[in-house]
Amino acid sequence: CLVKPHQYPHAEATARASGADDLLARAQVFADLDAALTGCRLVVGTSARERAVAWPLLAPRECAALLIREAAVGGVALVFGRESSGLTNAELDRCTYLVHIPSNPLYRSLNLAAAVQVLTYELRCAQIIDEGPVYEAEAPPATARQMESFYEHLENVLTDIGFLQPENPRQLMRRMRRLFIRARPDKNEVNILRGILTAIDKTRGSDDQ
């Protein structure tokens, strides 16, 4: 999946594919990351830099094993950023986990192609030894789109009740994201949480009247 590629298709990409033209031919192009992540239950972003708010972090081998297990029962995504600047903070916020490839601390950032090679190699190894899914089909984790809708709903309610300052929401919301990422709520649990938020909205509406 390609998000807003500068040029696609491109003759240079085909020349470098070295026989993997079928991958380029099957590539899907999306206008934004949210559209590309539709239907995904697990999203892992690649990052070489530390964040102000600590995020659940995986090693490459651990990441690959998790992705293979989850892929057996639902959509997953491994997100790579731009060659020059990686993923933005807003894009990293969409991720359930981050994966970091250990490297020399003086040269933390890997070439994009090298990072893809390392992680796809680990995915191939994990696929060979995979023992199967760990989640029950009747209670799958919420998808990335469902979680984003929940976070938006939560931010609106927290702002309405005066708990969240709208001029500086990011630090609090990132910590809230981290909390729910650790919990990995399933679809039913997210529906319950959104029901609670809706009930708060209705209660406030009654009070205002």
pLDDT single digits (tens) 121-136: 999 999 988 655 455 6
Q: How confident is the model at residue 170 (pLDDT cuts 50, 70, 90)?
A: low
Percent of the chain surpassing pLDDT 90: 57
How far apart CA 30 and CA 85 sit, in angstroms, is 19
For residue 59, the one-letter residue type is: A
User: What global pTM score does this model have?
Assistant: 0.74
* Span between the terminal Cα atoms of the chain, in Å: 49
Averaged over 67-93, what is the pLDDT?
92
How far apart CA 117 and CA 163 sit, in angstroms, is 45
Degrees to nearest 5, angle at CA 201 with 198 and 206: 130
Averaged over 52-71, what is the pLDDT?
90
DSSP state of 22: H
Q: How confident is the model at residue 146 (pLDDT cuts 50, 70, 90)?
A: very high
Angle of the 170-183 helix axis to the 144-160 helix axis, nearest 10: 130
